[in-house]
Amino acid sequence: MDVFKLREAVVNEYRSYVESFIRVYDPDIGKFIADSLHKGQLWPDAVLQLNPAFEMDKTLGELAQEGLLAKETARFFGENIRLYKHQRQALDIARKNEPYVVTTGTGSGKSLTYLIPIYEWIIKHNPAEHSVRAIIVYPMNALINSQLNAIDKYQKQFPGSPVRFARFTGQEKEEEKNAIRNDPPHVLLTNYVMLEYILMRPSERSFLRTATADLQFLVMDELHFYRGRQGADVGMLLRRLQQKAGHVPLVIGTSATMVSKGDRIERCKAVAEVATKLFGVHIKPENIVDETL
């Protein structure tokens, strides 16, 4: 495939579409518009961008052979999956039960930096008991739906997996929500608005107790989304959730690059300060995981 020819074909189709509904009777204005379209005023020039190559680490199967990961965990996500170095660093921090934030670029597999530790913990701690062990909060339902699609693919690799995932948002019908309330999953995927409703609504009080009694992980995806007043509101929401739980779960955050100024030490310190304010839990600068190219 010639990507430049592909771009040219797409632009030409779009140009034809745009020109099809332009009717200008003044010849001078018509010529000006036609020349502008021909020069590409409505579409940017082609951009060539190189994707970074992240430093690699061991496969999940190799970690399982070394006893650093349960065999069930490796089987669920794929024994041949080779981790990036930053993913392995996140797993090592999770193994120490310390909060952390992964701030790496797009396509760096940030979701595995919390899904693997969560799955590992549940597998080792009575998965037969149906109670919420992890709440993962996303800023948008589209991200939740995308995550569920990825989880479905993992489940096909391990059809008998005892770990259960469920989405709890405004998209579900009431009977679906009741099923979740009556038989809660191990991992609850939701958004910050629905999490607020769970804490506020009297109808959710029994579910709130079920969702927090055994809560071990609280994950915030896309931390950079929460800024200003909204960030303050979500920060208070997370504190109220921890208060309802009666204990502090292991907090984990993921984000695209949040700080671009300063050296690595300064950037990690700045991210740690922001994450600490949001979660209300102290996060050490050395537990900020960035990418290694």
The domain locations on the chain are 3-38, 56-290
Residue 167: in which H helix or E strand, if any? strand 165-167
DSSP string for 177-205 = HHHHHHS--SEEEEEHHHHHHHHH-GGGH
165 contact partners, CB below 8 Å, separation of at least 6: 148, 151, 185, 186, 187, 189
Residue 4 has pLDDT above 80, yes or no: yes
pTM for the model: 0.82
What pLDDT, in 10s, does the model give residues 177-234?
A: 999 999 999 999 999 999 999 999 998 988 999 899 999 999 999 998 898 899 999 9
Pick the CATH number of 56-290 from 3.40.50.300, 3.40.1160.10, 3.50.50.60, 3.40.50.720: 3.40.50.300
pLDDT attached to residue 57: 96
What pLDDT, in 10s, does the model give residues 93-124?
A: 999 999 999 999 878 999 999 999 999 999 99
Establish how many alpha carbons lie within 13 A of residue 261's alpha carbon, considering only the half-sphere containing its beta carbon.
1
The token duo for 48 is 């060539």
Residue 259 has pLDDT above 70, yes or no: no
Closest CA to 284 of 267, 265, 269: 269
Closest CA to 99 of 229, 266, 238: 238
Are 181 and 207 contacting, i.e. CB atoms less than 8 angstroms apart?
yes
User: How many residues would you count in the chain?
Assistant: 293
Rounded-to-integer distance, Cα 247 and Cα 132, Å: 14
DSSP, collapsed to helix, strand or coil, labels residue 86 as helix
What pLDDT, in 10s, does the model give residues 42-88?
A: 887 877 777 778 999 999 999 999 999 999 999 999 999 999 999 99
Which carries the bigger pLDDT value, residue 117 or residue 256? 117
The token duo for 243 is 């208060």
